[in-house]
Structure 1
Amino acid sequence: MNICVFCSAADLDDRYTVPARELAKLIGEGGHTLVWGGSDSGLMKVMADGVQEAGGRLVGISVEFLAHLARPGADEMVITRDLAERKARLLARADAFVVMVGGSGTLDEATEILELKKHGMHAKPVVLLNTAGFYDGLKQQFERMEAEGFLPVPVTELVFFAEDAVGALAYLEERAGLRS
């Protein structure tokens, strides 16, 4: 399975890097491919290192103005003209999505994927990895959107909030038909 992971390129503390290493190891050991923003810094580097060390493949999709940060040694590296093309390529290459901690760029990628899913443009599973309660507020906001009629489909059909890497990958594998 090609698993697209949206996450920060910032250097973060163990509260965020330890769960990232756990997910990366599970992706690699499961024989999956990490499709990610291609950066060799921060949490993106943690994910790429872990997947590669555990035997998984790396497909990076970067953008021209960040190409100098692209990871050497990825199995494949695509450089796009702009962020819109990057997001389209990430969507096209992925069978499933995991949204990890991140800033406005990560949130932008997550909301675009969810909006496309809401409108039936894809049916790929999406997980928000709620490390250290990072997405508690967003979960509450989605629940309010649903309760007040702003979402035409239940939140549970759009996204799964996982508390740990094991739960995130189990959900994706179940949705992809890889588990019984």
Structure 2
Amino acid sequence: MNVTVFCSAFDLDERYTGPAREFARLLGERGHTLVWGGSHAGLMGLVADEAKAAGGKLVGVSVELLSHKTYQGADELVMTRDLAERKAVLLARADAIVVLVGGLGTLDEVTEVVELKKHGLHIKPVVLLDTEGFYQGLRTQLDRMEAEGFLPKPLDQLVRFAQDPAEALALLEG
């Protein structure tokens, strides 16, 4: 399975890197392909290193703006013109999407893939790994949107939340 992973390109605390490392290891051990933002920086680089060390294939999708941060050693590297094209390629190459901790770019990516799923433009599973309750604020907002009629279908048909790496992978493989 090609699993697109959205996550931070910043160096983070072990409470975030540990679960990300475990998820990437499981991904590689199970023979899945990591499709990610193509960077060697921060959590992105750590996830790529771990998936590769565990036997996974790597498909990086980078953007010209960040070409100086591309990961050396990916099995395939796709360069895109801009961030919008990169998001489109990341989604197109995915059989499933997992969202690890991240900043504004990661939030932008997850909201776009969920919005596209809401409109029926893809049916790929989307799972947020809620490490240390990182996505509880987003979960609260999405629950409110569902409760107040802003979503055309049940929230769990659009996105799922996992508490640990094994659960995240199980939701994809299930």
- Do the two structures share a fold, i.e. TM-score over 0.5? yes
Q: Helix, strand or coil for the counterpart of 1:24?
A: helix
* d(CA) in 2 for partners of 1:86, 1:9: 15
Q: Is 1:10 matched with 2:10? A: yes
The within-5 A match list for 1:18-167 is 18-167=18-167
The Cα of 1:23 is off from its aligned counterpart by: 0.2
Q: Helix, strand or coil for the counterpart of 1:61?
A: strand
* d(CA) in 1 for partners of 2:36, 2:19: 17
The Cα of 1:161 is off from its aligned counterpart by: 0.3
* d(CA) in 2 for partners of 1:55, 1:129: 22
Q: What RMSD, in angstroms, separates the aligned Cα atoms of the two structures?
A: 0.4
Report Cα offsets for 1:45-90 as digits up to 9, x if no partner: 1100100000000000000010110001100001100011101101
Q: Helix, strand or coil for the counterpart of 2:167?
A: helix
Match of 1:177 in 2: none
* d(CA) in 2 for partners of 1:13, 1:88: 30
* d(CA) in 2 for partners of 1:58, 1:30: 14
* d(CA) in 1 for partners of 2:82, 2:41: 19
The Cα of 1:151 is off from its aligned counterpart by: 0.6
* d(CA) in 2 for partners of 1:104, 1:5: 15
Q: Helix, strand or coil for the counterpart of 1:74?
A: coil
Q: Helix, strand or coil for the counterpart of 1:71?
A: coil
* d(CA) in 2 for partners of 1:42, 1:96: 22
Q: Which runs of 4+ in 1 moved over 4 A?
A: none
* d(CA) in 2 for partners of 1:70, 1:46: 13
Which residue identity lines up with residue 167 of structure 1 in the other structure? Answer: E
Aligned-residue identity in percent: 68
Q: Helix, strand or coil for the counterpart of 1:151?
A: coil
* d(CA) in 2 for partners of 1:88, 1:143: 26
* d(CA) in 2 for partners of 1:34, 1:121: 22
Consecutive unaligned residues of structure 1, counting only runs of 5 or more, are 175-180
Q: Helix, strand or coil for the counterpart of 1:34?
A: strand
The Cα of 1:113 is off from its aligned counterpart by: 0.2
* d(CA) in 2 for partners of 1:17, 1:88: 26
Report Cα offsets for 1:101-150 as digits up to 9, x if no partner: 00000000000000000000000000000000000110010000000111
Aligned residue pairs, count: 174
